[in-house]
Amino acid sequence: MILSDKTIRDLLDRGELAIEPLEDDQISPGSIRVGKQIQPASVDLRLGTHFLKLDEHNIAYIDLENPAKYISFDKEEIILPPHSFMLATTMEYIRLPDNLTAFVEGRSSIGRMGLFIQNAGWVDPGFEGEITLELYNANQLPIKLTAGRRVCQLVFAQLDQDAYYPYRGKYQGQRDATGSQIYFDEENQHN
Dump the DSSP string for 143-174. Answer: EEEETT-EEEEEEEEE-SS--SS---STTTTB
Q: Which of 19, 173, 3 is nearest to 91 (CA)?
A: 19
Q: What is the pLDDT of residues 85-108, one digit of tens each?
A: 999 999 999 999 999 999 999 999
Q: What is the pLDDT of residues 16-69, one digit of tens each?
A: 999 999 986 655 555 455 568 999 999 999 999 999 999 989 988 888 888 889
Can you give the residue ranges of every domain in the chain? 5-188
Q: How far is CA 81 from CA 17, 107, 159, 185, 186, in A?
A: 36, 20, 39, 31, 35
pTM of this prediction? 0.89
Which are the catalytic amino acids?
134
For domain 5-188, give the fold.
Answer: Deoxyuridine 5'-Triphosphate Nucleotidohydrolase; Chain A (2.70.40)
**Residue 133 near residue 91 (C-beta atoms within 8 A):** no
Q: Which of 1, 160, 146, 4 is nearest to 75 (CA)?
A: 146
The size of the chain, in residues, is 191
**Residue 132 near residue 178 (C-beta atoms within 8 A):** yes
CA 182-135-88 angle, 5° bins: 70
Using CA atoms, how far apart are residues 127 and 97, in angstroms rounded to an integer?
8
Instruction: pLDDT band for 187, please (50, 70, 90 cuts).
Output: confident
Using CA atoms, how far apart are residues 39 and 88, in angstroms rounded to an integer?
22
Using CA atoms, how far apart are residues 48 and 93, in angstroms rounded to an integer?
10
